[in-house]
A and B are shown apart, each in its own frame.
Chain A
Amino acid sequence: GIQVEQSPPDLILQEGANSTLRCNFSDSVNNLQWFHQNPWGQLINLFYIPSGTKQNGRLSATTVATERYSLLYISSSQTTDSGVYFCAVETPSDNNDMRFGAGTRLTVKP
């Protein structure tokens, strides 16, 4: 099946700093989503972004499908941004069932 690799695995930032999270995938995809898992375990959908660039407030994401990667940008980070960020992809080779990366654990310190 498809391999989804996220980097870095852990990231510690000071409040106000910017960061870039990366997701590499090993096969062509029909769908890519970024999720934030909050401290209560809920998966919050951030972006549905199989290709192109989207922005939502301080967050933006870019997927370059031909080069098989996606980036999540967090600007002016806040302590409430802490949590685990997951990239998940759907590919025809996996019957279009969504597969998750291992996540990036972000800690934003005040």
Chain B
Amino acid sequence: EPEVTQTPSHQVTQMGQEVILRCVPISNHLYFYWYRQILGQKVEFLVSFYNNEISEKSEIFDDQFSVERPDGSNFTLKIRSTKLEDSAMYFCASTRRPEGNSPLHFGNGTRLTVT
């Protein structure tokens, strides 16, 4: 069964550095997401992406964050000038259609640690 794949599985970075988290959604999916989970807390929506542009973003997704689909397969989340509070698990997800009536498939996540 096709899977959403995320790399790296764990990244450690120093405060103030830029990081890029990578995702390869399922190939025939059209709608892509990033979610964040701070340790011990619930999974929070960051941003959705459809037709090569941001569809919606949450209050968390400020100017420090950006997303890109640089080619036909990758979907990236860039965090500029990381802060300690950016430490979290970041999940990528994709779904086949944008109408909300097909399941969301999640990757295994990237655990980001900012020191």
Contacts and interface: CB of A to CB of B under 8 A. Distances in A.
Interface residues of B, number: 25
A95 interface: yes
Interface in A3-49: 30-31, 33, 35, 40-43, 45, 48
Contact of B99 (A35, A45, A86, A96): A96
Provide the main secondary structure of the chain B interface: strand
B100 A92 contact: yes
A72 interface: no
A67 B108 CA distance: 33
A83 interface: no
A101 B42 contact: yes
A39 to B, nearest CB: 13
Interface in A85-110: 86, 88, 90-92, 94-103
B80 interface: no
B25 interface: no
A43 B91 contact: yes
Nearest to B98: A96
Given A95-B55, A97-B48, 10 more contacts: A45-B103, A48-B103, A86-B43, A88-B104, A90-B100, A95-B56, A98-B45, A98-B104, A100-B43, A100-B44
Interface of B: 33, 35, 37, 42-45, 48, 55-56, 89, 91, 93, 98-106, 108-109, 111
